[in-house]
């Protein structure tokens, strides 16, 4: 997400880095680039103007830093401003002292309210709550049916009846109270902000249920209209926050900036895919880094810590460093990584990865990984330890056993060999043959870890040092991130 914006800023970073100092003309040119980038990313014009003004104030107010090049200084200012606009610290979800906690979802048609309602219910379930869904979208054909099907998949009850939306919502909340559910999520029909009758209706639903949270569901591909929509919904419903959907598209997601800038309420949740699990809290500070192409190491590390088994990984890691990495180790690692989530989702968090790799990763489905696993599982233990003994007839057997082709087996073996070579070189110090972004990846991992107070193993610093010149480094985010950690809601455990 925000890929294109990141790319622009990366280019901007490069051209500014090559200059010694920043003149007024330079600043104008740089901000002009930022303006185009933001507009192309669908940030609303008014929000863009305010943003640029704020960046200009930031840059001109500062004395030229000794340690930063002028280009880095602009990028730093842009980054800080992005963090500010995207919402400083995330909203902390608290629960009503007298349950149920009522949550109202509203938005345009097609923004993804119904799917979001189910995803939100699942999120609360993972938090140990007992959610209850109310289907108050009686407008779109089969909307209630859709919510029922989705709710069935996560084992949450749905309330609905064919009366009118306000009545459904009111009864639903009462029903939830009776059943002792502590979180109620109300799905409403999509409506246009200029449709006065429907806006009055959603207002009545809100009045009848007095929700503790009212979320605007907004689509990441939305253009300039995001501001108007957000503003009208905010005026009608007094939003507590925004939920952004379809962040898995290659959209630049400027709508998030626009809506956030106009409504002044935080983006709370983000939906990143069609599966019900593709949903989590939105992290503004991380998102700002992502926009600037810095990747999102914190998310990655958190995810790793949550899901990986350190002892298992450490064991094969040792062999990896010593160059005796086997196909068994490969399987172990593969399974550990798979536990962390989809490859595509993970690659998005890694800084400096090329677009091609990212797209490729997002296209890998479970089937393909299963196939790799099937091939390895069809080998004998000895073959897994010493792949070099696999000859023609063994290949045929493996292909048959795994239901693939000899060609597929060949490919896997060849690539495994290359991977092993790569690892050997890596453990021999430096990272000579790693593809483009990997050096930066390691460096960013080191930085992120340092930020969190983790210790660097000896030699690691040297590993990243060589990359320093190449990677765009934005300082200044680090200290802030740390401070905010306290207030953040811990993301749910993934299955």
Report in angstroms how near the CB of residue 99 gets to another protein at its nearest. 28
Closest contact distance (angstroms) between CB of 101 and another protein is: 25
Using CB atoms within 10 Å of the CB of residue 353, give its burial: 0 to 12 exposed, 13 to 18 middle, 19+ buried.
buried
Minimum Å gap between C-beta 42 and another protein is 3
> Can you tell me the distance from the alpha carbon of 241 to that of 280, in angstroms, rounded to the nearest whole number?
14
| Contacting another protein within 307-326 (CB under 8 A) | 308, 310, 313-314, 316-317, 320
> Which residue lies nearer to another protein by CB, 65 or 109?
109
Footprint of another protein on 138-177 (CB under 8 A) = 140-143, 145-150
State the nearest-atom distance from the C-beta of 4 to another protein, in Å: 9
Name the one range near another protein by CB under 8 A: 8-16, 160-168, 217-225, 394-402: 217-225
For residue 208, state whether it binds another protein (rule: CB under 8 A).
no
Residue whose CB is less far from another protein, 68 or 312: 312
CA angle 312, 294, 307 (to 5 degrees): 20
**Stretch of residues binding another protein (CB under 8 A), selected from 11-19, 81-89, 136-144, 384-392:** 136-144
Judged by CB under 8 A, the chain residues 27 through 86 that form the site for another protein are: 36, 39-42, 44-45
Q: Does 192 bind another protein (CB under 8 A)?
A: yes
Six-digit token string for 377: 């599982």
Local structure of 281: helix, strand or coil: strand
Please list the alpha-helical segments (H only) found in 264-391: 284-291, 297-307, 310-321, 327-340, 343-349, 355-363, 366-377, 381-385
Using CB under 8 A as the binding rule, whether residue 133 contacts another protein is answered as no
Please report how close the Cβ of residue 24 comes to another protein at its closest, in angstroms. 20
Q: Which of 374, 371, 390 is nearest to 382 (CA)?
A: 390
**What is the C-alpha separation between 419 and 403, in angstroms, rounded?**
24
CB of 39: closest distance to another protein in angstroms? Answer: 5
Q: How many residues bind another protein (CB under 8 A)?
A: 99
Going from the C-alpha of 260 to that of each of 95, 107, 270, 399, the distances in angstroms are 23, 15, 13, 53
Q: What CA–CA distances, in Å, run from 454 to 83, 316, 346, 410, 427?
A: 24, 22, 21, 41, 21
Segment near another protein (CB under 8 A), from 72-80, 203-211, 379-387, 438-446? 438-446
For another protein, which residue of 65, 88, 96, 110 counts as binding (CB under 8 A)?
110
Positions in 398-417 near another protein (CB under 8 A): 411-412, 415
Least CB distance to another protein at residue 477 (A): 19
Work out how close the CB of 65 gets to another protein at its nearest, in angstroms, rounded to a whole number. Answer: 29
Alpha-carbon span 173 to 137, nearest angstrom: 15
SS3 at position 243: strand
Read off φ and ψ for residue 245, nearest 5 degrees. -115, 170
Site string for another protein, 268-307 (x = CB under 8 A): ------x-------------------------xx--xx--
Q: Is 347 in the site for another protein (CB under 8 A)?
A: yes
DSSP-assigned letters across all residues of 410-463? HHHHHHHHHHHHHHHHHHTSS-TT--THHHHHHHHHHHHHHHTTPPPPTTHHHH
Nearer to another protein, 170 or 290 (CB): 290
Over the range 417-446, which residues count as b (16 or more CB within 10 Å of their CB) and which as e? eeebebbeebeeeebeebeebbbbbbbbbb
Task: Give the footprint of another protein on residues 364-393 (CB under 8 A).
Answer: 364-365, 367-369, 372
Interacting residue with another protein among 104, 243, 251, 409 (CB under 8 A): 251
| Region 18-37 residues binding another protein, contact defined as CB under 8 A | 36
Among 126, 373, 385, 460, binds another protein (CB under 8 A): 460
Query: Residues 280, 270: contact at Cβ < 8 Å?
Result: yes
Of the residues 256, 257, 340, 409, which one makes contact with another protein according to CB under 8 A: 340
Closest to another protein by CB, 127 or 411: 411
């Amino acid at each position: 997400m925000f890929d294109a914006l990141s790319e622009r800023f990366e280019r901007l970073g490069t051209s500014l880095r090559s200059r010694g100092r920043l003149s007024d003309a330079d600043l104008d040119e740089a901000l002009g680039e930022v303006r185009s980038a933001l507009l192309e990313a669908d940030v609303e014009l008014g929000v863009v103007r305010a943003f640029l003004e704020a960046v200009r104030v930031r840059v001109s107010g500062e004395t030229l830093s000794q340690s930063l090049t002028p280009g880095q200084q602009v990028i730093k200012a842009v980054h800080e401003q992005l963090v500010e606009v995207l919402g400083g610290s995330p909203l902390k979800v608290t629960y009503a002292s007298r349950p149920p906690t009522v949550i109202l979802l509203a938005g345009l048609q097609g923004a993804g309210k119904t799917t979001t309602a189910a995803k939100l219910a699942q999120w609360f379930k993972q938090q140990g709550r007992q959610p209850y869904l109310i289907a108050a979208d009686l407008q779109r054909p089969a909307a209630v049916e859709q919510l029922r099907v989705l709710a069935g998949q996560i084992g949450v009850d749905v309330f609905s009846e064919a009366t009118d939306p306000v009545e459904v919502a009111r009864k639903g909340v009462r029903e939830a109270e009776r059943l002792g559910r502590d979180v109620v999520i109300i799905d409403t029909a999509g409506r246009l902000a200029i449709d006065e009758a429907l806006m009055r209706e959603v207002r009545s639903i809100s009045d009848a249920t007095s929700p503790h949270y009212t979320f605007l569901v907004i689509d990441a591909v939305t253009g300039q209209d995001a501001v108007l929509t957000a503003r009208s919904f905010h005026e009608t419903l007094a939003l507590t926050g925004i939920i952004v959907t379809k962040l898995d598209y290659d959209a630049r997601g400027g709508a998030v900036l626009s809506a956030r800038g106009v409504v002044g309420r935080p983006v709370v949740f983000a939906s990143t895919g069609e599966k019900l699990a593709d949903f989590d809290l939105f992290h503004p500070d991380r998102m700002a880094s992502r926009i600037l192409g810095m990747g999102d190491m914190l998310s990655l590390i958190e995810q790793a810590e949550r899901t990986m088994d350190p002892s298992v990984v450490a064991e094969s890691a040792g062999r990896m460093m010593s160059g005796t990495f086997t196909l068994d180790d490969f399987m172990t690692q593969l399974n550990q990584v798979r536990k962390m989530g989809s490859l595509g989702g993970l690659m998005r968090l890694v800084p400096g990865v090329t677009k091609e790799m990212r797209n490729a990763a997002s296209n890998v489905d479970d089937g393909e990984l299963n196939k790799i696993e099937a091939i390895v599982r069809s080998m004998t233990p000895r073959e897994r330890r010493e792949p070099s003994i696999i000859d023609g007839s063994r290949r045929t057997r493996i292909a048959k056993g795994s239901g693939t082709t000899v060609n597929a087996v060949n490919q896997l073996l060849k690539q495994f060999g290359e991977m092993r070579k790569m690892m050997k070189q890596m453990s021999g110090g430096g990272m000579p043959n790693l593809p483009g972004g990997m050096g930066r990846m390691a460096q960013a991992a080191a930085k992120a870890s340092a930020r969190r107070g983790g210790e660097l193993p000896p030699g690691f610093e040297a590993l990243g040092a060589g990359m320093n010149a190449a990677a765009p480094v934005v300082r200044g985010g680090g200290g802030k991130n740390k401070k905010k950690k306290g207030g953040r809601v811990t993301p749910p455990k993934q299955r």
